[in-house]
Structure 1
Amino acid sequence: MNGDPEATPGGPGDHAHRELPLDPDVAGITAGAARPAHLRPDCIGAVFVGGCCGVAARAALVEAFSAGDAIPWAVFVINIVGAFALGVLLEALVRRGPDIGGRRLLRMLLGTGFMGGFTTYSALATDTADLLSSGAVGGGVGYALGTVIVGAAFTWAGIVVGAMVPRRGRGDQR
């Protein structure tokens, strides 16, 4: 060693002795342990089925309630209802116990899958861009901000409603 701190073992230049941070999805998993949720076929299937149903429900509602108005009210209402429902679902699930087993699958099916497919950021962005490019600047800005602000308020309201679900006792892990 030449006295250079960059070259000393454990020094700033010693890359061989540095440990990388653990991936939280796989930390603590040993051989034979359960796979992380994002790699489990049952969770992937739940998200897929829920997402397909959510997209189909959204498409049917947009088709049924699109009145040709300048503001796409159907997508606005879908996003607000979805924000509320997701707030209720996630708060109720967390109050029922840890994110394992049936609760995890329900969260994946309804939360990530159905609500992820039902609500639509892409339609919000596209509709906003369409409004802005057509010259309806006030409508476009109002639509975008209104969706985000009202959506946040309805998410909070959903959390309040979900908080009405009684908590499970510490010993009940179902």
Structure 2
Amino acid sequence: MIKATVIAAGEGEVPTGIWLFIPPDYDILWSAVALVAIALLFWKKVLPTFTKILDERTELIQGGIAKAESAQAEAQEALAEYTRQLAEARAEAGRIREAARAEGSAIVAELRTKASEDAARILENAQRQIEAERQQASQSLRTEVGALATDLASRIVGESLADSARQSRVIDRFLDELEASTADQR
């Protein structure tokens, strides 16, 4: 501080009070010239570069926002399309299910009808077969009973009834006597 006082005292009068903080006029002038030179250099060279960089960044950001908005719109459209296709697929699945149920019911009904027809046919065939076997058994029984009856009759009568003419005469006589006895009982 002593040196600053000495330098200032060498030039003349020593500033006091607020003037200690205010520089001399020539310092203000040369500082202003330097400030204007730097400001012009900044305004002509640096500021346009910063402005250009900031404009590019703004464009990139706005382009990114626009791309994001378009991507979001496309995503919304895709979601709507997916939802529509899903609804169509569900409706189609429902129609297919209903068609399958109807077809299944028709097949079951057809199989029941066919089964009842088959059962009726099998029952009819069985009844025919039973009737044929009954008739065959009846005829076989008559033949055997007739043979036994003629054999028994030949033993009782004492004559041979092996001759077919005699057998038919004996059987006819027996049937006539049987008819006469039933007629008398009425």
Q: What TM-score results when the alignment is normalised by the length of structure 1?
A: 0.19
Specify the structure having the higher radius of gyration (Cα): 2
Larger RCO (CA under 8 A, 6+ residues apart): 1
Q: Structure 1 or 2: larger helix share?
A: 2
